[in-house]
């Protein structure tokens, strides 16, 4: 299942310091097949991570362990995503 983590920045200075650890964490999970896609929003106020997990609990554990979240640089909003295959079926 896919889970989307919305990560708005709440402290720009802290975020800048934590960013290398955040990126390393996301890259590690990507190599493990636990992150499908990730990146910043163009307005520079945060970003999004799409997790591949077997359960809500696993996705929440992964998202909450992100250094940007644990250090308080970003808030976390996690949602299960019902991604559809295109073209949409009507």
CATH of domain 2-81: 3.30.70.1060
- Along the chain (90 residues), what's the average pLDDT of each consecutive run of 10 residues? 97 97 98 96 96 97 98 98 70
Is 87 exposed, middle or buried, given 0-12, 13-18 or 19+ CB atoms closer than 10 A? exposed
2-8 and 46-52 beta bridge pairing: antiparallel
- pLDDT, position 17: 98
**Pair of tokens at residue 74:** 């970003």
- pLDDT, position 11: 97
- pLDDT, position 85: 65
All residues at 6 or more sequence positions from 40 whose CB lies less than 8 Å from its CB, including other chains: 46, 47
**C-beta separation of 71 from 9 below 8 A:** no
List the domain boundaries for the chain: 2-81
- pTM surpassing 0.85? yes
């Amino acid at each position: 299942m896919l889970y989307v983590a919305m990560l708005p920045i709440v402290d720009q200075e802290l975020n800048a310091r934590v960013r290398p650890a955040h990126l390393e964490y996301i890259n590690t999970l990507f190599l493990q097949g636990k992150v499908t896609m990730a990146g910043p929003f163009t307005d520079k106020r945060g970003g999004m991570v799409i997790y591949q997990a077997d359960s809500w609990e696993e996705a929440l554990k992964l998202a909450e362990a992100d250094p940007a979240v644990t250090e308080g640089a970003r808030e976390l909003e996690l949602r299960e995503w019902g991604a559809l295959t295109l073209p949409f079926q009507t």
